[in-house]
Amino acid sequence: MTTAALDLSRRIPAKYVPVLVTGCLFVAMFVVGGIRYEGFASGQVILNVFVDNAFLLVVAVGMTFVILTGGIDLSVGSVVALSTMISASLMKGPGWPPYLVIPLVLVIGSVLGMVMGYIIHAFDIQPFIVTLAGMFLARGLCYTIGTDSIPIEDATFTAFAQTKVNLFAGMWVSPSVVIAAVVVLVAAYVLHYTRLGRAVYATGGSEQSALLMGLPVARTKITVYTVSGFCSALGGVLLSFYMLSGYGLHAVGMELDAIAAVVIGGTLLTGGSGFLLGTVLGVLVLGLIQTVISFEGTLSSWWTKIFIGLLLFVFILLQRLFSARRT
């Protein structure tokens, strides 16, 4: 028994395998891209993936929390859109300052998430249906505010949109990337170093056991949906930096991108297994697919979706094989 255990620890623990696979895939895509296309193999290409997907990264972080507990959140895309809409309309109409608007938006997103979490937990309704209602609600609120795109002309927002944070060797990122990086680091810390984080994993592993082990399952479940709501709202703020507009049709289908990123990042949709690093890699892979297709030139944009679907299939199949072997 003890020797078997030692052997096991010497090899790569099984839980890191999916993340490693995604990492290898990313490197492989980057190398192939570098060989095939002029000007692909530069650090800035990767940084641009971050710049173009900072909001998705933040949203996917929230989604990771939810999926780790075994739930799902379909409302994220709509909450992103709602955040852009509220920000834009409040700044344009009554002329609210950004330092009031942004916290308000974050609070709204968090409260929405919390309410959904409460309904899911207290009334034992599937997360799928509850967050679907949340999706309709948020999108509906967007259209109630206005059906047209509202431009953002606020100085702070435009400054955020245009600032380049210079790194080294002439490479740069946008401030949104810095914010997204902070979110990722904080989230990774919470998941790894706090009781809340461990309760998230335990709940996803087995809700029944977590309850019998005396963990605060109710609080954990409500918290993850709150976190997801907060991240969606923050993602919305970052998207308004990027787009400089509020629009009810922003981020349509972003929930699917976020779920795909989390799954490709090796997180089990049944919960309890996965890492934030995987989600970051998942977002990078999705972004890199788009970059490759834009470099290819002749390939049309819909190949993105087909590739994402194929990747999803491969990863889900891999996960299925892994979990089948474990039991």
Partner 1 sequence: MPPPAPILRMSGIGKQFPGVKALDGVDLRLLPGEVHALMGENGAGKSTLIKVLTGVHPIDAGTIELDGRAVAFTSPLEAQQAGISTVYQEVNLCTNLSVAENIFVGREPRRRGRIDWPRMRARAVELLARLDLRLDVSAPLSAYSLAVQQMVAIARAIDIDAKVLILDEPTSSLDAGEVEQLFQVMRNLKEEGIAILFVSHFLDQVYEISDRMTILRNGRLVGEYLTRELPQVELVAKMIGQELAALEKLHGEAKEFGSPLVEARGLGRAGAIEPFSLTIHEGEVVGLAGLLGSGRTEIARLLFGADHAGTGEVAVGGTPVSLRTPRAAMNHKIAFCSENRKSDGLIPDLTVRENIVLALQATRGWTRPVPREQQDELVGRYVAALKINPADPERLVRDLSGGNQQKVVLARWLILEPRLLILDEPTRGIDVGAKTEIQRLVTQLSDGGMAVLFISAELEEVLRLSHKVEVLRDRRLVAELPNDDDLTSDVLMETIASGGRAS
Partner 2 sequence: MKRLLWPVVVLLLLLVVNLVFTQNFFSIQMRDGHLYGSLIDILRFGAPLILVSLGMTLVIATGGIDLSVGSVVAIAGALACLQISEDASLFTAVALALALSVLLGAWNGVLVAVVGIQPIIATLILMVAGRGLAQLITDGQIITVNSASYKVIGGGYWLTVPFSIILVLVVLAITAFLTRRLALGLLIESVGGNAEASRLAGIRSRGIIIMVYAFAALCAGVAGLMISSNVSSADGNNAGLWIELDAILAVVIGGTSLSGGRFSLGGTVLGALIIQTLTTTIYSIGVPPETTLLFKALVVTAVCLIQSASFRAKVFGRRGRAAPPSPAAPEEKVRVTA
Of the candidates 232, 226, 98, 113, which has an alpha carbon nearest to the alpha carbon of residue 153? 98
Residue 215 interacting with partner 1 (CB under 8 A)? yes
Residue 278 interacting with partner 1 (CB under 8 A)? no
The interface partner of residue 241, options being partner 2, partner 1, none and the CB cut-off 5 to 8 Å by kind, is none
Residue 320 interacting with partner 1 (CB under 8 A)? no
- Kindly report the backbone phi and psi dihedral angles of residue 172, in degrees, each rounded to the nearest multiple of 5, phi listed first: -145, 160
Residue 299 interacting with partner 2 (CB under 8 A)? no
* Beta strand residue intervals within the chain, DSSP E: 150-151, 165-166, 172-173, 245-246
Instruction: Give min distance, CB of 203 to partner 1, in A.
Output: 9
The interface partner of residue 286, options being partner 1, partner 2, none and the CB cut-off 5 to 8 Å by kind, is none
Instruction: Give min distance, CB of 123 to partner 2, in A.
Output: 4
Residue 6 interacting with partner 2 (CB under 8 A)? no
x-or-dash string of contact with partner 2, 43-72, rule CB under 8 A: -----------------------------x
Residue 144 interacting with partner 2 (CB under 8 A)? yes
Q: Token digits for 292?
A: 């490759």
Give residues with Cβ within 8 angstroms of 274, minimum separation 6: 18, 64, 67, 68, 262, 265, 266, 267, 268
DSSP 268: -
Q: How far apart are CA 204 and CA 65, in angstroms?
A: 10
DSSP 174: -
Cβ 63 vs Cβ 73: under 8 Å: yes
Binding span for partner 2 by CB under 8 A among 11-19, 103-111, 204-212, 287-295? 204-212
Of the candidates 252, 251, 273, 253, which has an alpha carbon nearest to the alpha carbon of residue 262? 273
With CB under 8 A as the contact rule, the residue among 42, 147, 162, 166 that binds partner 2 is: 147
Binding span for partner 2 by CB under 8 A among 173-181, 190-198, 222-230, 306-314? 306-314
The interface partner of residue 149, options being partner 1, partner 2, none and the CB cut-off 5 to 8 Å by kind, is none
Query: Other C-beta atoms within 10 Å of 29: how many?
Result: 16
x-or-dash string of contact with partner 2, 100-139, rule CB under 8 A: -------------------x--xxxxx-xxx-xxxxxx-x
Environment class of residue 95 by beta-carbon count within 10 Å: exposed (0-12), middle (13-18) or buried (19+)? exposed
Q: Which is nearer to partner 1, 221 or 250 (CB)?
A: 221
Residues 142 to 201: which contact partner 1 by CB under 8 A?
Answer: 189, 192-195, 198-199, 201
Q: How far apart are CA 236 and CA 54, in angstroms?
A: 10
With CB under 8 A as the contact rule, the residue among 109, 236, 272, 287 that binds partner 1 is: 272
Q: How far apart are CA 184 and CA 37, in angstroms?
A: 31
Residue 193 interacting with partner 2 (CB under 8 A)? no
Q: Which is nearer to partner 2, 44 or 149 (CB)?
A: 149
